[in-house]
């Protein structure tokens, strides 16, 4: 995706930019509202990451201005203010999501992926795998027509398998997916989550490749 990052802190901005580039996105980084306004006029972005407190104005006003002008580009707010009223104001102004600093870069990657998918215009966000219907945009899974409720982390793992149905995913790769600000990833965390996933989406849906990792199994038989 082409992402516009608006962040005035150089040290943080650089790390965020490098993370997004490592995820395979192309990133334009500005530190001012004025240059952000120029950038959105000059190019079309798939996503804007917007800091709310900028030296030359409020990010919120920039966002409102864009929305009033009919711009529907997804916006994720990055804010250092933790007041819930600020977050509500951001969402009310038309933000798609928000993250409170300090945030985890892996979580940022996941949010960017999620928002991007919501707007990717993928004509077919529904993936069918055996008796499973997976809606990548709505983040829902149906098994035999019934909705299966997955937790955030279960979904994050399952999504990794569905996105790359033929790939062999190592335990380390999967751990990368389990961003969490507070959680310590312990040595058996991945095993615990794989076990839970198998219970919910069918044991044969996820295969273990001994010593290597996991991959999406052959489709379960339709009932």
Partner 1 sequence: MAILWLAAATVAGLVLRHEIDEVFDSALQEVAQRVLPLAYAEVLARDSDEPQRVPPVGPHREYITYVVRDAAGTVLLQSSDADRSAIPKDLTHGFATTATLRTYTEAAVQGTILVTTAEDLAHRGAAVRKAVLALLWPLAALVPVAVAGVWLAVWLTLRPVLEFSSGLEARGRGNLSAVSIEGLPDEILPLADAVNALIARLRSALEAERGFTANSAHELRTPIAAALAQTQRLVAELADEPRRERARAIEQSLRRLSRLSEKLLQLAKAEGGGLVSEHPAPLGPVLRLIVEELDRQFDCSERLDVAIPPDGGPALDLDPDAFAVLARNLVENAVRHGDPDGSVRIRLAADRFEVTNGGPAVPADRLSALTRPFERGPTRAAGSGLGLAIAAAICEGAGLTLDLASPVPGGSDGFRATVRFARATGSGRARS
Q: Is 80 left (phi over 0), alpha (psi -120 to 50) or beta?
A: alpha
Binders in 9-68 for partner 1, by CB under 8 A = 9, 11-12, 14-16, 18-19, 22, 53
> Which residue in the set 105, 127, 162, 167 belongs to the binding site for partner 1 (CB under 8 A)?
105
Q: Minimal CA–CA distance to 90: which of 66, 114, 120, 118?
A: 66
Q: Which is nearer to partner 1, 92 or 204 (CB)?
A: 92
Q: Which is nearer to partner 1, 24 or 102 (CB)?
A: 102
Nearest-approach distance from CB 123 to partner 1, in angstroms = 29
Q: Which is nearer to partner 1, 19 or 35 (CB)?
A: 19
Rounded Cα distance between 90 and 184, Å, is 30
**By CB under 8 A, how many residues form the interface with partner 1?**
35
Nearest-approach distance from CB 128 to partner 1, in angstroms = 25
**E runs forming strands in the chain:** 2-6, 26-30, 47-51, 53-54, 57-58, 75-79, 97-100, 126-129, 132-135, 140-143, 146-148, 206-209, 213-216
Nearest-approach distance from CB 145 to partner 1, in angstroms = 22
Binders in 158-187 for partner 1, by CB under 8 A = 180-183
> Which residue in the set 55, 69, 102, 123 belongs to the binding site for partner 1 (CB under 8 A)?
102
Does 89 help bind partner 1 (rule: CB under 8 A)? no
Q: Minimal CA–CA distance to 132: which of 152, 161, 105, 110?
A: 161
Nearest-approach distance from CB 51 to partner 1, in angstroms = 9
Q: Which is nearer to partner 1, 64 or 81 (CB)?
A: 81
Binders in 183-212 for partner 1, by CB under 8 A = 183
Nearest-approach distance from CB 83 to partner 1, in angstroms = 4
Q: Minimal CA–CA distance to 178: which of 157, 164, 194, 163?
A: 157
Q: Minimal CA–CA distance to 110: which of 9, 181, 13?
A: 181
Q: Could you tell me which residues are beta bridge partners of residue 169?
A: 214
CA atoms within 13 A on the CB side of 198: 15
Question: Would you say 189 and 178 are in contact if contact means Cβ atoms under 8 Å apart?
Answer: yes
> Which residue in the set 25, 66, 129, 153 belongs to the binding site for partner 1 (CB under 8 A)?
153
Per-residue tokens: 215: 């991959």
Q: Rule CB under 8 A: which residues touch partner 1? A: 9, 11-12, 14-16, 18-19, 22, 53, 80-85, 87-88, 100-107, 149, 151-154, 180-183
């Amino acid at each position: 995706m082409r992402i516009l990052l608006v962040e005035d802190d150089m040290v943080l901005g650089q790390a965020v930019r490098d993370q997004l580039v490592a995820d395979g996105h192309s990133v334009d980084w500005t530190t001012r509202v004025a240059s952000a306004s120029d950038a959105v006029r000059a190019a079309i972005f798939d996503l804007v990451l917007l800091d709310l407190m900028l030296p030359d104005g409020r990010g919120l006003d920039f966002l409102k201005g864009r929305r009033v002008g009919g711009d529907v580009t997804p916006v994720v707010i990055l804010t250092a203010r933790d007041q819930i009223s600020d977050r509500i104001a951001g969402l009310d102004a038309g933000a798609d999501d928000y993250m409170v600093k300090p945030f985890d870069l892996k979580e940022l990657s996941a949010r960017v992926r999620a928002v991007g998918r919501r707007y990717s215009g993928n004509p077919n966000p529904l993936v069918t795998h055996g008796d499973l219907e997976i809606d990548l945009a709505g983040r829902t899974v149906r098994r035999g027509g019934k909705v299966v409720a997955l937790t955030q982390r279960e979904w994050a793992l399952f999504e990794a398998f569905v996105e790359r149905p033929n790939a062999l995913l190592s335990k380390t790769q999967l751990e990368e997916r389990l961003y969490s600000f507070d959680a310590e990833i312990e040595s058996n965390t991945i095993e615990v989550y794989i076990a839970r996933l198998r219970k919910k989406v069918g044991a044969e849906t996820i295969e273990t490749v001994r010593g290597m990792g996991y991959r999406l199994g052959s489709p379960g038989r339709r009932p």
